[in-house]
Structure formats: C-alpha cells, structure tokens
C-alpha cells in the first residue's frame, strides 16, 4: 500500500514512533467490493493520499492549523494543493489547536464557507467552538454558510470539473488570470482566491480590522449578497467591513445554478433551482450544471449536464446529457436573477410557448428578477427565456 497516508488511516506514525490509531483500516476497506463492480475507492477513517486515489479520485484533505490570525498561510496551502491535484481541501474553521476567540471564529466562519472542503474541527482538549456558541458567529454562519448551501449546485459542478479536467476548485489569481501581471505581483493576491472561475473571495484576516483591501482584475463584478456592481480597471480595491462582512464578488460572465436556503445538503437538493446570471460588459454569460446519482460509482453514466448561455437579452438552457433526473431533488427552476440589465424590459417570456413571466426590476442595481415559479421550467428540458 505505497503512499503517504495522512491522519490515522495507515502508514502515519505518532510523534513517539508508534503506529497511528486504526492504522489498518485503510487496507481492509480498500478491499471492499459490491456484487457487480470492484470499487476503485480508497476509504479510511480519514483522508488517504495514495497511488490509487491521487488526482481525480482524491476529494478531501484538511490542513490543521493553530488558532491565530497569523495562520493566513492556510490559503496559499489550499491553493497549492489544488494545483498538485488535490482539489477538495480546506483548513479547520476556527482553528484546530489552542483556544479560539469570537472574532477569529467569526472571520474564519465567513472565509471557510468558501473553502472547497469546509468543516469546523478542533482538538478535544480546548474550548468548544461550535458556531452557535456566540450570537455574532451564529449570525455570520446563517449568512455565509447559508450562502454555501445555496451554492451547492455550483460547487458540485466545480467538483465534477476538477474530476474531469484536473482544474482546481479554489484557484490562485494567477491561475484564473494568467495574462494579468497584477494577479501575480499585487501584495494582496496571496490572501485571496477564486472559487471556480466565477467567485472572488477576499477574506478579512487582520484582528480588529474595519477595512480590507484586495486585488480585483479588470472587468465587471457584482457583490454576491447585495448585487452592487463594481467596474474594475484591474486595481487594488478597499472596502469598509464590520465583523459581519467579507467581500465576495461574482465575475461578470457566468450563470450560477443555485438552490434555495436549507439546513442540510440533503434537504437543499430537494429545493427548486435559481439561476444567478451575472452579465459581462458586453451583455453575455454562460454556465454549466452537473447533477448525478451521488451513490453511483460511475457518475457519467448516471448524470445530467446542462449548458446555459445568455446573449442579446436571451437566456437559453440546453441539456447536453440527460442520464439522470428525479431522485431526491427537484428539477424545477423557480426564479432567474439577471445582473447588469441596463434598462427595464417591458416583457419577459418563455420563447417556446410565449408564456409571459412576472418580473421586477431594480434600476439602481440594474437587476432583473424573473418569477418562473408557474412556468414549469426544468433543468432537464431545453428552454429559452427572453426579456424584451
């Protein structure tokens, strides 16, 4: 069983040279098969890195760090592992060793909500750090963890993309903007990242901070929470922040599939879809949705892939592959939010049926909200929605 086994799953040793707890579990579980297919899965009590699980089969590794605002280097570590071929990675939210503080846990909860792999985890001999222990952290959890659960369709699609292509889920700025010299030279880029190609995360990492600065590449960006538009020339940008704030922006150009708010990933999958369309400067956008039977060994044989494109005030949804639908989630789309619409449309219709849809328009935000709840739009069927 060649390889480096992290945590307690096999070859790892404790400081005194003794074999780690449950050091044989990886061997026995790796030989588990079902009646039909030999599963090429390496399961253990925690994470395994080995020949058989490297790259597209490895999906979680956790960086354990102490509880200190100086532990900002967990972000470069996460980004490095993505490039190494380990895409599902994250640091222990609120820290692993020593006692955390309310402010540190609050800031880390906001940041950790956008890690590819997010968990609050600590050693047993320190103070508890559950999110609900502080009112401020609980409120921040409702905001940022709540948004993570809404973004699960996007995150799951990124996981599929990482599996299929090797592209990291969390990406360094230079990785996503290779021709932008500032994406390498700005003093702030080591402590920010892109989640996929669409979300820019700029965490607050300084104790007692009332403002934060990050590098925003050239283009149109929209605040993920309030939809405020930012047009950057490719410069460092500063924001005033309270304890409850962390800048997260949607890059102009994607279509993000989202669920409704939920308390668990299982229940989130049962909620209808929303589409968040963030128009680029030239009024276009595109995106993808991947969904599958999460228990299938070969997901491609039990999956659906949907492509979204926006051009000329028209959103088109096309089913690329439709090998899975139903199951424990709904296929319906109940609302579409389009950011960057310069003028209020007079009408919104489903082009194939001429069904007229209700809508509202915020002139200040240039945001069009389309009510599709009665149109029976499904991610498993082609459709086109136009605003005229």
CA distance 372 to 17: 62
Express each pLDDT in 192-229 by its tens digit. 999 999 999 999 999 999 999 999 999 999 999 999 99
254-387 shares the fold of 27-45+64-169: no
Would the CA dihedral through 252, 254, 259, 263 be positive or negative?
negative
pLDDT tens digit sequence for 258-281: 999 999 998 999 999 999 999 999
* Phi and psi, residue 122, nearest 5°: -150, 170
d(CA 237, CA 212): 8
Separation CA 313–CA 345 (nearest Å): 9
Neighbours of 269 (CB within 10 A): 18
CATH of domain 254-387: 2.60.40.1180
How far apart are the two ends of the chain, measured CA to CA in Å?
62
Instruction: Please give the pLDDT value at position 59.
Output: 39
pLDDT digits (tens, 9 = 90+) for 227-252: 999 999 999 999 999 999 999 999 99
Per-residue pLDDT at 323: 86
Residue 19's pLDDT band (cuts 50, 70, 90): low
CA distance 69 to 107: 9
| Dist CA 335 CA 303 (whole Å) | 23
Strand partners for 195:
170, 199
The Cα 142–Cα 33 span in angstroms is: 40
Residue 55 has pLDDT above 80, yes or no: no
Q: Does domain 27-45+64-169 have CATH number 3.30.43.10?
A: no
Q: Where are the domains positioned within the chain?
A: 27-45+64-169, 171-251, 254-387
Residues 271 and 302: beta-carbon distance below 8 Å: no
Quick: pLDDT tens for 310-359: 999 999 999 999 987 656 678 999 999 999 999 999 999 999 888 999 99
Task: Of 80, 71, 82, give the one whose Cα is nearest residue 107.
Answer: 71
Phi and psi for 138 in degrees, rounded to 5? -60, -45
**pLDDT confidence of residue 11:** 44
Confidence of residue 137 (pLDDT cuts 50, 70, 90): very high
Q: How many residues does the chain have?
A: 388
| CATH H-level superfamily of 171-251 | Golgi alpha-mannosidase II (2.60.40.1180)
pLDDT given for residue 350 in this prediction: 97
């Amino acid at each position: 069983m060649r390889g480096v086994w992290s945590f307690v799953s096999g070859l790892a040793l404790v400081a005194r040279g003794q074999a780690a707890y449950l050091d044989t579990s990886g061997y026995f579980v790796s030989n588990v098969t079902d009646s039909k297919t030999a599963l090429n899965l390496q399961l253990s009590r925690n994470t395994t890195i080995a020949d058989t699980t490297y790259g597209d089969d490895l999906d979680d590794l956790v960086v354990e760090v102490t509880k200190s605002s100086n532990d900002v280097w967990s972000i470069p570590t996460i980004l490095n592992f993505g490039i190494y071929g380990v895409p599902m990675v994250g640091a222990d939210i609120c820290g692993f060793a020593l006692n955390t503080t309310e402010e540190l846990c609050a800031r880390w909860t906001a940041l950790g909500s956008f890690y590819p792999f997010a968990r609050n985890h600590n050693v047993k001999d320190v103070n508890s750090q559950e999110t609900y222990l502080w009112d401020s952290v609980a409120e921040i959890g409702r905001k940022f963890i709540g948004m993570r659960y809404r973004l699960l369709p996007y995150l799951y699609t990124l996981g599929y993309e990482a599996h299929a292509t090797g592209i990291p889920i969390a990406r360094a700025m230079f990785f996503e903007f290779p021709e932008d010299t500032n994406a390498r030279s700005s003093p702030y880029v080591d402590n920010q990242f892109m989640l996929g190609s669409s979300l820019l995360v700029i965490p607050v990492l300084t104790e007692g901070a009332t403002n934060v600065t990050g590098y925003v590449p050239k283009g149109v960006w929209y605040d993920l929470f309030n939809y405020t538009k930012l047009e950057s020339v490719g410069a460092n940008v500063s924001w005033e922040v309270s304890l409850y704030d962390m800048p997260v922006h949607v890059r102009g150009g994607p279509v993000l599939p989202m669920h409704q708010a939920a308390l668990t990933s299982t229940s989130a999958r049962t909620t209808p879809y929303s589409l968040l369309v963030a128009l680029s400067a030239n009024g276009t956008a595109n995106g993808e949705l991947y969904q599958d039977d999460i228990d299938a060994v070969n997901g491609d044989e039990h999956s659906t892939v949907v492509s979204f494109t926006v051009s000329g005030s028209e959103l088109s949804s096309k089913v690329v592959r439709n090998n899975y639908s139903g199951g424990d989630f709904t296929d319906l789309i109940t609302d579409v939010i389009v950011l960057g619409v310069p003028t209020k449309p007079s009408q919104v219709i489903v082009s194939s049926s001429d069904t007229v849809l209700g809508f509202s328009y915020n002139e200040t935000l240039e945001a069009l909200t389309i009510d599709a709840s009665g149109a029976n739009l499904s991610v498993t069927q082609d459709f086109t929605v136009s605003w005229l």
